[in-house]
Structure 1
Amino acid sequence: MKFSSININNFRQYYKTVDFDLSTSDEKNIVLIGGKNGYGKTNFLLSIVWCLYGEKISQIDDNFKKEIQKEKNYSSFMQQSINWSAKKEGIDTFSVSIFIEEIELPEITKLSSNANKVIIKRSRNTSNTEEKLSIIDPISNLEIFDEEEDKFNFINDYIIPVDAAKFVFFDAEKISEIANLSIKEEGSFINDALGKILGLDTYETLIDDFEFYINTLKKEGATKNLQEQIIDKEKAIELS
C-alpha cells in the first residue's frame, strides 16, 4: 500500500488546491518533504491524519490533542482550519483527498473488479459544521460505503489502524524522544502500535478464544458430578 498523491484544498496554509505527487520508482522510492518553520510541514501531516481519522486525531498525536484543547473542542479547532484568504473570499469549505494504490481490498460489490486503488476524501463546511468522509472507487468514481461505521472500519482494517497511526504519523522531531524511551510505561504506546501493525492483538484474541472453546468442551464432556463442582467453583470465583 502506498499514498500516491494528496490533494489539499483551502486547509490552513494551503490556499486553493495544492497537489502533492508522491509517486515513486524502483530507483527513487523515498519522498522527503522539508521547509522552514511555519511553512506548513506539521499541517501537511495534520491534513493526512485528519483526512483518515477526523475527530479521532487527538488520539494520534499529543500536539494535535493540545491544539484541540487550546480551542476548547474539536469543532472549534476545525473552524480555525480553513485558509484565511479563502475565508475572506467567502469560501466556507475545505477538504483533503488521499489517492492510495497497491492496496489489498475486500470483495465489495461497488468496487470495480480487481480494484487495488481508492480515494479517501474528507471535507468540512465551516458554515454548518458538516463534515463528510467519502471512500471512492477511482475507476467508477462511486462511493463504496454509505454508513459511517463501515467507512471507519475500512480505514482501520485496510489502511492503517487508528491505534497504530500514532506510530506511523509523527513529527520527525519526536524521533529522538522515541530513541530515548527506556521504561515500559514510556514505551507502551509503541508496543500497542506494533501489536496492531503485526497483528499480535488478533493473535492474542485467537488464543483466548481457543482457550475458552477448549474449556467449554471439557466442561460439556465432564461427568454430571464434576460439572456441578465446576459450577460451584466458578460461582465462588465470581463471588470473590
Structure 2
Amino acid sequence: MFIDSIILHNYRAYKGHNETLFKPDKKNIFLIAGNNGFGKTTFLTSLVWCLYGKLMVDVDEKFRRDINDAQGYKNYARQSLHKEFANLVDSCHISVEERRQIVRNGYSSNNEYIKGIAQYYVEVSITNVFIPSIPCRTITIRRTYDYFLDIESIEVLIDGQVNELAKEVGYDIFINDFVLSKDIAKFFFFDAEKIVNLAEVKSIDEKRRLSIAYSEVLGIKKYEDIKRNLENLRLKFRKNAGSTISKTKLDKLTYSVEEIEEQIRIKETERETIDGEIQKYRAE
C-alpha cells in the first residue's frame, strides 16, 4: 500500500486547498520536516481523522485525550475548521427558519456561500491495495465536516467510482477491514513521543493490545486464527467420538479451565492495583 496524495482543505492550520503528492523516484521514502508549531503533528492527525473519524480514539490514547479535552467528538471536529473560516461562519446572520431549511433540503443558490466557508475535508489517495474479489488500482477516501450543520460525511471511491459492496458494508468498516485496521494503525501514524510511549508500556492491558497489533503487522494473526480453528475442530471431533463418561469428564475439565482463567484475570487486575499502591507509597 502506497499513499499517492493527501489533500487538506481548510483543516486546522492548513488554510485553503493544500495538496501533497508522493511520487516515488528511486526510493519510496519521504521526509516531512518543519519547526515546532508549523503543522507536522496536524498533518499526521489529519490522516488518522480521514480514515477513522470518531473511531480515531481506538488508534491512540492521545486522540482519546484530545477529544475528551474538547468535551466530545462534535466539539473536537468543530475546532478542526480553520479559525478564520469558523469566525466567518459565526458572523453570518442566518435565521432559525433558514437554518432548518438548509438542514432539511441542503444548501441552495442563495446560501451556497456558507457551504464554501463552513466545510473542511481531508482526502487521501492510496495505490497498490489488494481487495479480494474487487479489481482496484486506486482508493480515494475523503472525510468532510460541515461546521454550520454539524454533519460529518465520508466518501470512498475505487478507481474513481462508487463501489456498491463497500457502500453496503459501510465505509468505516470497509476501511478498517480492507485498507488499514485500527489495531495496526498505531504503527503507521506516530512521532518520536509515540516511540517513547511504546517503549514504556507497562500495564497488562496495554501489553495485550500491543501484542495483538504486532500479530496483525507481522501477519501472525492469520496463522493463529487457523491454529485456533483447527484446535476447536479437534476438540469437537474428540467430544463426538468419546464415551458419555469421557464427555462428562471433558466438560468438567473445560469448565475448570475457564474458572481458573477467570481467576487469573482477577489476580492480574489485583496485582496491577497493588503495584499502583506500592508506587504511591514509595513516592510518599
Same fold (TM over 0.5): yes
Q: Which amino acid aligns with 1:24?
A: P
The aligned counterpart of 1:160 is: 180
Q: For 1:195 and 1:210, how far apart are their aligned partners in 2?
A: 19
Q: For 1:232 and 1:188, how far apart are their aligned partners in 2?
A: 28
The aligned counterpart of 1:6 is: 6
Q: For 1:74 and 1:19, how far apart are their aligned partners in 2?
A: 26
How many angstroms does 1:138 deviate by?
A: 3.0
Q: For 1:57 and 1:198, how far apart are their aligned partners in 2?
A: 22
The aligned counterpart of 1:63 is: 62
The aligned counterpart of 2:128 is: 102
The aligned counterpart of 2:141 is: 120
Q: For 2:256 and 2:212, how far apart are their aligned partners in 1?
A: 34
- Structure 1: which 5+ residue stretches go unaligned? 109-113
Does structure 1 residue 133 correspond to structure 2 residue 159?
Answer: no
Q: For 1:63 and 1:156, how far apart are their aligned partners in 2?
A: 19
Q: Which has the larger radius of gyration?
A: 2
Q: For 1:97 and 1:124, how far apart are their aligned partners in 2?
A: 12
Bigger mean CA offset, 154-163 vs 94-103: 154-163
Q: For 1:46 and 1:238, how far apart are their aligned partners in 2?
A: 41
How many angstroms does 1:203 deviate by?
A: 2.5
How many angstroms does 1:135 deviate by?
A: 1.2
The aligned counterpart of 2:232 is: 212
Q: For 1:207 and 1:216, how far apart are their aligned partners in 2?
A: 14
Does structure 1 residue 92 correspond to structure 2 residue 91?
Answer: no
Q: Which amino acid aligns with 1:69?
A: N
Q: Which amino acid aligns with 1:222?
A: G
Q: For 1:87 and 1:215, how far apart are their aligned partners in 2?
A: 61
User: Aligned pairs, how many?
Assistant: 231
Q: Which amino acid aligns with 2:137?
A: N
How many angstroms does 1:150 deviate by?
A: 3.2
Q: Which TM-score applies when normalising by structure 1? A: 0.84
Tell me if structure 2 keeps the 8 A contact 1:9–1:17: yes
Deviation sequence 1:70-117 (CA, Å, 0-9, x none): 111111111111011222443211111100001112224xxxxx4221
SS, match of residue 8 in structure 2 = strand
How many angstroms does 1:202 deviate by?
A: 3.1
Tell me if structure 2 keeps the 8 A contact 1:9–1:15: yes
Q: Residues 167-186 of structure 1 correspond to what in structure 2 (within 5 A)?
A: 167-178=187-198, 180-181=199-200, 185=204
The aligned counterpart of 2:24 is: 24
Q: For 1:227 and 1:177, how far apart are their aligned partners in 2?
A: 48
Q: Which TM-score applies when normalising by structure 2? A: 0.72
Q: For 2:64 and 2:259, how far apart are their aligned partners in 1?
A: 41
SS, match of residue 146 in structure 1 = helix
SS, match of residue 9 in structure 1 = strand
% identity of equivalent residues: 28
Q: Which amino acid aligns with 2:6?
A: I
Q: RMSD across aligned C-alpha pairs, in angstroms?
A: 2.6
Tell me if structure 2 keeps the 8 A contact 1:47–1:96: yes
Q: For 1:157 and 1:174, how far apart are their aligned partners in 2?
A: 24
